[in-house]
């Protein structure tokens, strides 16, 4: 099983914000939704847009390039729930956010 990796201080990602982090050479979007952290692959399925740069509302991020929407809690594509991006486990330890890669 993969290990958790520290990716950012909690204070660096305030509620309603997101940022790209790298975990084991993989780009991950880290999102803070009402104080709860979520991590998904940061590349949109359509054209590889940076999801962490998109607008987030109610746990849904809209890709800034072409408007595809993903639920940051699950990685599921809103327009077609059969597909999505990989979701990764998060936790907070000593005021630091940690991510463990999923698939």
**Residue 21 vs residues 53, 79, 82: alpha-carbon distances, Å:** 12, 26, 26
- Span 16-48, pLDDT tens digits: 999 999 999 999 999 999 999 999 999 999 988
Please say whether the beta carbons of 65 and 47 come within 8 A: yes
Q: Which one is predicted more confidently, 57 or 103?
A: 57
Please say whether the beta carbons of 99 and 89 come within 8 A: yes
To the question of domain 5-100 being in CATH 3.30.420.240, the answer is no
- 54-74: b (≥16 Cβ within 10 Å) or e: bebeeebbbbeeeebbbbbee
> DSSP 3-state assignment of 10?
helix
pTM: 0.94
Q: Domain spans of the chain?
A: 5-100
pLDDT for 103 equals: 72
- Span 47-65, pLDDT tens digits: 889 999 999 999 999 999 9
């Amino acid at each position: 099983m993969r290990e958790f990796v520290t990716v950012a201080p909690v204070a660096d990602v305030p509620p309603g914000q997101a940022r790209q982090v790298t975990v084991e050479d993989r780009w991950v979007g880290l999102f803070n939704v009402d104080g709860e952290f979520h991590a998904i692959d940061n590349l949109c399925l359509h054209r590889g847009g940076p999801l962490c740069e998109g607008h987030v509302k109610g746990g849904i991020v809209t890709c800034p390039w072409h408007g595809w929407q993903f639920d940051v809690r699950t990685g599921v594509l809103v327009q077609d729930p059969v597909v999505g991006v990989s979701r990764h486990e998060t936790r907070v330890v000593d005021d630091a956010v940690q991510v463990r890669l999923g698939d």
